[in-house]
Amino acid sequence: MDSIKTITTDELQKKLKNGEDLHLVDVREDEEVAEGMIPQAIHIKMGDIPESTDRFDKDKEYIVICRSGGRSGKVCHYLQDQGYKVVNMEGGMLAWEGETKPK
């Protein structure tokens, strides 16, 4: 299994502050995102990823987010195996200290 690129929450916050065009995917469950998600993120539950690959573009890189980094890591492996460019956010939303918005 190829290794997955990672990004820390601090690195992600800096990129967002710099106005970089990023593609964030939050794979947590509905009740988890109800507590708040990164404003730029789209929500696709982990279980819905296999039938949602048409929402991804193989020319773009996606930063995948979950609660602690475990589920997003699994999603990253799956998407990478399908030919997508992905980055796992280390520590997940438990480590996120930036802005959030309600879903």
76 given a catalytic annotation: no
Give every CB contact of residue 46 below 8 A, 6+ residues apart in sequence.
27, 28, 29, 66, 71, 74, 75
Point out the catalytic residue in the list 66, 76, 79, 86: 66
User: Residue 24's closest CA among 74, 66, 80, 78?
Assistant: 66
What is the set of active-site residues? 66
